[in-house]
Amino acid sequence: MKYYGDLRSFITALDEMGDIMHVQREVDGDFEPSAITRRSYEIQSPAPLFHKVAGVAPGFRLFGAPAALSSRSDMPYARVAMSLGLAPESSGPEIIEALSAARFKPGIPPVRVESAQAECQQNILRGDAANLDRFPIPFAHDKDGGRYANTWGTLIVKNPDGKWVNWSIARVMKVDGKRMVGLIVPSQHIGQIWTQWVARGEPMPYALVQGPAPAISCVSGIPIPANADEADYIGTLAGEPVPVVKAISLDLDVPATAEIVIEGHVSIERDCQEGPYGEYGGYLGEGSSAQPTFHVETITHRDDPIWPMSITGRPTDESHTLWAMGLAADALTYLREAELPIKTTWIPEDSTVHWLLVVMPENWRELLPGVSSEELAQRIGEVLFKTDAMVFIPKVYVVDDDFDPTNLREVVWALSTRVHPVGRRAVFEDQRVIRLPQCYDEAEYVAGKGAKVVFDTLQTKRHLHASFAQGYPEEVRQRILDNWPE
């Protein structure tokens, strides 16, 4: 295992395993980088690195699909695993176990370095020079409300008393060279902190960090408990403290090895229109909403900086790999804390974060004596639907462990043959609903309430599969394997 302390060493490692596509010809500054990145997701190609973008200074680069499925079929989750310091061949459930286990370990706080040691401050831009127009920020989709200046960067904010520092990912749209507008959801951690600044009547200081160490981007995009510092959690995953440096114009620490850091303040009013944007559900966006303005005051960057981007849409992009794994790890943590004997949890990439599979071991009835599968489904829903992360997931399936939950073909087979048409489900009415999941109607979005469901697909008796693995004697299978492909 190896931890990559900056984006460049991570890209080099991917390149050495054949998972980088170098785009050397000049691409336009509008749609071409995003369209190439989107196609790379859909055909599972190497991650595109754009070396020449029209309209920006030579040396400024774009990097797409940083945590999508790998082009290496033998290690599909390599980009996510390597981002987190895990072996590239790690399976999805192994990554989820690592994310959950780190929640129970002491955090390793970041360590501050001097500005002279911080690559992110090799170039310092102030005043009029601190302008977004100098960077290669393309349109993500042709129906979007503008160029999205943040799709894979980390927003750093802290509450007014300085006791809670939050690192997170939220979409932020470029308005012009000196302004952005970002989606701030009140229930999310950045929204909770912004609300505290609004109550004081003061604009919220922020730093938008592009291209930090890959683990920082990944952890910024997954749920961890409120008032916990992502930097400490990243240190635990890495086994070493994150090097940070004081921002140039703000009382915030930022990752020292980042590619680009944008500093400024967020307005106390929702005074600018944001959106639409094509989101993880796989549909182009419609409509916009009033959101706070992010004013750009100072920018620092490395020489020849790299701007990473995630172009969300139909599977499979970072929303369906890293974010889904983070949500599954959050669910696994809470279910185990409730003393339920869960084997693993998994969100199939192709469900676009609309399904969660809760996998039970074969002996779960021995571990929960007297509990029926219907009662288990009810308890699982009672635990999960109280958590913040489950606001995104409307459907939970409680399944046996006799198939591979990461294999979509096996998932479709198991669910289609085990979900009862009308019964064996626990329905939870009037649960929190936000607009990002695609399955509710307009009245439910307006009310912020809707139903969620836990499907009980557990078998009373395990049935053998009509498969190569279970349908033939072991000696026959071994003889066939020894002589394959004759």
Residue 313 confidence (pLDDT) = 96
Quick check: 419 pLDDT over 90?
yes
Q: What is the pLDDT of residues 64-118, one digit of tens each?
A: 999 999 999 999 999 999 999 999 999 999 999 999 999 999 999 999 999 999 9
Mean pLDDT of the chain: 96
What does the pLDDT look like over 111-169, one tens digit per residue? 999 999 999 999 999 999 999 999 999 999 999 999 999 999 999 999 999 999 999 99
Compute the average pLDDT of residues 455-469. 95
Question: Given a cut of 80, is residue 486 above it in pLDDT?
Answer: no
Residue 318: predicted pLDDT: 97
| Residue 318: active-site member | no
pLDDT at position 257, please?
Answer: 98
Q: Catalytic: which of 274, 279, 318, 349?
A: 279
Go through the chain and tell me how many residues it has: 486
Q: What pLDDT band is residue 485 in, cutting at 50, 70 and 90?
A: confident
Check residue 187 and give its pLDDT. Answer: 83
Task: List the single range of 46-55, 221-230, 269-278, 309-318 with lowest mean pLDDT.
Answer: 221-230
pLDDT at 180: 98
Q: Please say whether the structural domain 338-456 has been given the CATH code 3.40.50.1820.
A: no
pLDDT surpasses 90 at 228:
no
Reply yes or no on whether the pLDDT at 394 is more than 90: yes
**Can you give the pLDDT at residue 226?**
79
pLDDT at 425: 96
Give the C-alpha separation, 411 to 421, whole Å: 17
- Which is nearest to 171 in space by CA: 162, 161, 181? 181
| Residue 225: predicted pLDDT | 85
Tokens 């693995």 correspond to: 469
What is the structure's pLDDT at 210? 98
Give the dihedral of Cα atoms 233, 396, 411, 462; nearest 10 deg.
110
The reported pLDDT for the residue numbered 28 is 97
Please check whether the domain covering 7-309 is classified as CATH 1.10.150.20. Answer: no
Give the model's confidence band at 284: pLDDT under 50 very low, under 70 low, under 90 confident, else very high: very high
Report the predicted TM-score, pTM, of the whole model to 2 decimal places.
0.94
Q: Has residue 268 got a pLDDT over 80?
A: yes
pLDDT category of residue 211 using cuts at 50, 70 and 90: very high
- Ranges of each domain in the chain: 7-309, 338-456
pLDDT at site 209? 98
Q: Answer yes or no: is pLDDT of 1 > 80.
A: no
What is each CA distance from 94 to 47, 89, 225, 360, 406, in whole angstroms? 23, 10, 21, 16, 11
What is the rounded average pLDDT of the residues 328-345? 97
C-beta separation of 108 from 236 below 8 A: yes
| pLDDT for 288 | 94
Q: Do 346 and 359 touch, CB atoms closer than 8 A?
A: yes
The answer to whether 148 and 141 are in contact (CB under 8 A) is: no
The values of phi and psi at residue 200, to 5°, are -85, -10
Lowest-pLDDT choice from 82-96, 224-238, 245-259, 357-371: 224-238
